[in-house]
């Protein structure tokens, strides 16, 4: 499937976006290992999260799904059963990495597989520390899936400093820490997403966090068991980012996004965009275990910036959006410390560089980042200018490249095309409908 995109103006409306992908994954995992019945409201029905749900169903967990509400009958920490076949996780790196921690503590063997994209993603980053804990886990000779896990004796405790800032590695080890004799400690030099810490605490699992400047020490105290609870999943900030971008760069826009998750470890993009001059306001703030708010976004004149590399871990998924915003900002934007983009569903530095090149944007790509030359003052002197060139863009079968590129194409004349966008359903199954609802001219073919 391809997207066909035309330019437009005046995006408006109030939109409820899909549930947060990261929280949806973790809610299923914790609910499955809890004692009792958990109800998850706002669960994201994207393919990635459904892959996690399906995997636990195959391991004997009763899960009933109605629209975006999921009811999970937890089986307890030691109640999972051996699946009848390999666990296929599609394109979901989160599922594979986090579940590897859980499955390392089981008394049965498992094999985790994925699609062609997931099969190229690096897994040594979790395999190395899991082996230090006593897990009998392996990948292929290149360190990629499939992942094979054999039964082990009870896992050993570990104190481990993350070699790269990664919430997936941290979370994998935290889940493995549920199956150790004594506490496990993880040290990160830059704070990453803390959804697992918050989810564990919501389920009553004891987690101690110590902070020393940017560094954090997370200690998980393994429970004998923990009880079910109900979860309300706010809208996904990473999904909201595409429509924040759309409203900021489209003249005469005034858009409201409802109940968006504003966890401080996820919203660095807000800080960056507001620093660039974005008109974004938060209201109706709800401060639950995962905070949320309504966001109002208006068309804004943006200025280029030099991005603080310390912010990269907490806007890694939103960098494609930032690249487009930088292309329409006045002046140059410099981004460094983003080499992790090369190990995502695609090489996102290369993929977004390709998109920018097709749109006529000037840039210099580096091993760990990019310099993007934005627009001069002329663009903002008339709301009718269309700064990009009409283009045919390759999404590299990456959902975030596809959506960011589609938003960018709304600022090009005539019609543009974004190719191979089927993967958008992994994280945002109703992206196209949402675009149309707020006034974007976008279709599929």
Q: Residue 210: phi, psi to the nearest 5?
A: -115, 135
Residue 362 CB: number of other CB atoms within 10 A?
A: 12
Given this model, what pLDDT does residue 9 score?
85
- State the helix-helix crossing angle for 348-359 and 319-327, rounded to 10 degrees: 20
Q: In percent, how much of the chain has pLDDT > 70?
A: 98
Which residues participate in catalysis according to the annotation? Answer: 317
- Position 370 confidence tier, pLDDT thresholds 50, 70, 90: very high
Give one DSSP letter per residue of 111-177, joined into a string. EEE--TTGGGS--HHHHHHHHHTT-EEE--TTS-S-EEEE--SSBPP-EEE-SS--HHHHHHHHHHG
Q: What is the pTM of this model?
A: 0.91
Alpha-carbon distances, residue 361 vs 324, 325, 354, 368, 388 (angstroms):
9, 12, 10, 19, 7
pLDDT at residue 383 in the model: 53
Show me where the domains of the chain are located: 3-19+235-444, 21-147+156-220
For the segment 210-223, what is each residue's pLDDT rounded down to a tens digit?
998 889 999 999 99
411-422 confidence digits (pLDDT tens): 999 999 999 999
Domains 3-19+235-444 and 21-147+156-220 share a fold: yes
* pLDDT (tens digit per residue) in 24-73: 999 999 999 999 999 999 999 999 999 999 999 999 999 999 877 999 99
Query: Considering the domain 3-19+235-444, what is its CATH architecture?
Result: Alpha-beta prism (3.65)
Given pLDDT bands bounded at 50, 70 and 90, which one contains residue 385? Answer: confident
Q: Where are the beta strands (DSSP E) in 299-373?
A: 332-335, 362-366, 369-373
Over residues 165-182, the pLDDT tens digits come to 999 999 999 999 999 999
pLDDT digits (tens, 9 = 90+) for 282-320: 999 998 899 999 999 999 999 999 999 999 999 999 999
Considering the chain, what percentage of its residues have pLDDT values greater than 90? 91
Fold of 21-147+156-220: UDP-n-acetylglucosamine1-carboxyvinyl-transferase; Chain (3.65.10)
Report the pLDDT value the prediction gives residue 427, as an integer from 0 to 100. 84
Taking the alpha carbons at both ends of the chain, their separation in whole angstroms is 6
Q: Which of 95-109, 123-137, 259-273, 369-383 has the lowest mean pLDDT?
A: 369-383
SS3 label, residue 70 = strand
Beta bridge partners, 443, equal 4
Is 218 within 8 Å of 206 (Cβ atoms)? no
């Amino acid at each position: 499937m391809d997207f066909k995109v035309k330019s437009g103006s005046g995006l408006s409306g109030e939109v409820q976006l899909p549930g947060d992908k990261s929280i949806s994954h973790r809610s299923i995992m914790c609910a499955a290992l809890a004692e009792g019945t958990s109800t998850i409201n706002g669960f994201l029905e994207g393919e990635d999260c459904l892959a996690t749900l399906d995997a636990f169903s195959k391991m004997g967990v009763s899960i009933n799904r109605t629209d975006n509400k999921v009811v999970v009958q937890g089986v307890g920490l030691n109640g999972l059963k051996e699946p009848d076949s390999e666990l296929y996780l599609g394109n979901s790196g989160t599922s594979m990495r986090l579940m590897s921690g859980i499955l390392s503590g089981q008394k049965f063997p498992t094999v985790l597989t994925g699609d062609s994209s997931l099969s190229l993603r690096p897994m040594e980053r979790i395999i190395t520390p899991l082996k230090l804990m006593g897990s009998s886990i392996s990948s292929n000779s290149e360190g990629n899936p499939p992942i094979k896990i054999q039964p082990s004796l009870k896992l050993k405790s570990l104190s481990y400093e993350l070699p790269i800032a990664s919430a997936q590695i941290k979370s994998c080890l935290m889940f493995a820490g549920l199956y150790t004799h004594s506490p496990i400690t993880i040290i990160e030099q830059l704070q990453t997403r803390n959804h697992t810490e918050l989810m564990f605490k919501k389920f009553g699992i004891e987690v101690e966090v110590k902070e020393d400047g940017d560094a954090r020490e997370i200690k998980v105290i393994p429970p004998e068991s923990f009880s079910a609870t109900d979860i309300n999943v706010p809208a996904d900030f990473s999904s909201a980012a595409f429509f924040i971008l759309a409203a900021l760069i489209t003249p005469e826009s005034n858009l409201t996004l409802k109940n968006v998750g504003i966890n401080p470890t996820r919203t660095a993009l807000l800080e960056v965009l507001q620093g660039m001059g974005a008109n974004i306001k938060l209201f109706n703030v709800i401060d639950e275990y995962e905070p949320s708010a309504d966001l109002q976004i208006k068309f804004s004149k943006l200025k280029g910036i030099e991005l603080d590399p310390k912010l990269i871990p907490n806007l890694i998924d939103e960098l494609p959006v930032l690249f487009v915003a930088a292309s329409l900002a006045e002046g140059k934007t410099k981004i460094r410390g983003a080499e992790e983009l090369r190990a995502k569903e695609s090489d996102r530095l290369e993929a977004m560089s390709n998109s920018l090149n097709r749109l006529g944007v000037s840039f210099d790509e580096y091993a760990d980042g990019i310099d993007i030359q934005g627009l001069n003052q002329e663009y903002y002197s008339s709301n009718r200018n269309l700064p990009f060139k009409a283009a045919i863009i390759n999404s590299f079968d990456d959902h975030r490249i596809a959506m960011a590129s589609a938003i960018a194409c709304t600022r090009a004349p005539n019609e543009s095309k974004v190719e191979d966008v089927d993967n958008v359903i992994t994280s945002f199954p109703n992206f196209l409908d949402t675009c149309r609802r707020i006034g974007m001219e976008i279709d599929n073919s």
